[in-house]
Copies of this chain bind each other. A is one copy, B any other.
Amino acid sequence: MDELALIDRLRLIATDPAARGLDDDVAVIGDLVMTHDMIAEGVHFLEIDPPASVGWKLVAVNLSDLAAKGAEPVAALLGFTIGSDSEWDEKFIEGVAAACEAYSLPLIGGDTISLPPDAPKVFGLTAVGRGDSSIPSRSGGKAGDALWVVGLLGDAAAGLAMLKDDSEAEGPLVEAYRRPVPQLATGRLLAPYATAMMDISDGLLLDASRLCAASGCGAEIRLDQLPLSRAFVAERGAGRRARLGAATGGDDYALLAALPADFDPLGLSLPPGTILARIGELVGGKGLKLFDAAGEVPLPERLGYEHRAQNI
């Protein structure tokens, strides 16, 4: 039974409307939005990652799911495994605390357990947020909607690649990998208008294909419109290969929003410095088509990190 078959089995016990068919990143109970993400050493973070950044990231990736639903952070429950290196653990908790404080997310409970000696660390966080009257799902997108990205693509994957080459690497790309910033304020502003919204955690193309599948439509994406940072372009260039890397890299924690074509989100009172890029549109049919200035670009074989993590 592979991961998708398992999730299909889970769907059979997820018949409550709050589950949203397990097709969304969150569950919805009344006006509360809930998400649970786990991270494991050697899979979602590196042994060399500073423990405070691992704690920060655990909180931030969950907040990114709340951001995609336009929800305000309410509270979190932490699943913490005590390791043999208490200094590491202490710094990890400091990172959790820093992110909780930065985004006004009170920690209200959880569990602390021991693991067998030498087991890789595994952490979980459940984040609870409060949504507005409209909590966008993945499934409301319509042919003709414009596709927008909030935040930058590719930085985190480029930072991770740098760290794999050189564990001492640093700079803005490494920071983007280690300390993602959840797009909470912009998510809240966009939610009332978005027909569909989700966060981009596993790669733009993979997450866009999930939005399309849930919405019953396809998408045309302009690779030349992807929001790239100066640091990314300095490291990778801005050619087709670099852009395909940015579109499939994962760990971006940007937002992907489908908005009515005639709605201009740049007219909203966005936080200073918000990066918002119109990268394409939803179309009839299904699947993705990519374009750049030279015309249609073949879809890469790998759209993102399919088996790394899957919200259910």
| Distance, CA A34 to CA B113, complexed state (A) | 18
Contacts of A7 in B (CB 8 A): 112
Contacts of A264 in B (CB 8 A): none
| Distance, CA A128 to CA B77, complexed state (A) | 12
Flag if A29 contacts B128 (CB, 8 Å): yes
Flag if A114 contacts B40 (CB, 8 Å): yes
Closest to A105 in B: B13
CB distance from A24 to the nearest CB of B (A): 8
Flag if B78 contacts A79 (CB, 8 Å): no
Contacts of A22 in B (CB 8 A): 109
The verdict on A272 contacting chain B, using a C-beta distance below 8 Å, is: no
Flag A23-56 by CB within 8 Å of B: 1 or 0 each: 0101101001011111111111000000000000
Closest to A62 in B: B111
Say which one of A88-96, A183-191, A223-231 lies at the interface with B: A88-96
CB distance from A101 to the nearest CB of B (A): 7
The verdict on A163 contacting chain B, using a C-beta distance below 8 Å, is: no
Flag if A108 contacts B1 (CB, 8 Å): no
| Distance, CA A122 to CA B81, complexed state (A) | 10
Interface size on A, residues (CB 8 A): 72
Partner of A35, one of B75, B90, B109, B128: B109
CB distance from A225 to the nearest CB of B (A): 31
Contacts of A78 in B (CB 8 A): 10, 36, 312
Q: By CB atoms of chain B within 10 A, which of A7, A10, A22 has the most?
A: A10
| Distance, CA A309 to CA B80, complexed state (A) | 10
Please name 14 further chain A to chain B contacts, defined as beta carbons within 8 Å, in addition to the given A40-B116, A79-B124, A80-B312, sorted by A numbering. A1-B86, A13-B106, A26-B109, A34-B77, A36-B109, A36-B110, A38-B124, A39-B113, A40-B113, A40-B115, A42-B115, A110-B312, A119-B119, A122-B122
Pairs A–B under 8 Å by Cβ, sample size 24: A1-B87, A6-B86, A6-B89, A9-B97, A10-B93, A10-B107, A13-B97, A16-B106, A19-B106, A19-B109, A20-B109, A29-B32, A34-B128, A36-B77, A37-B111, A38-B79, A38-B111, A42-B116, A42-B119, A111-B310, A112-B311, A112-B312, A115-B122, A116-B120
List residues of chain A with CB under 8 Å of any chain B CB. 1-3, 6-7, 9-10, 12-16, 18-20, 22, 24, 26-27, 29, 32, 34-44, 74-75, 77-82, 86-87, 89-90, 93, 96-97, 100-101, 106-116, 119-120, 122, 124, 126, 128, 307-312
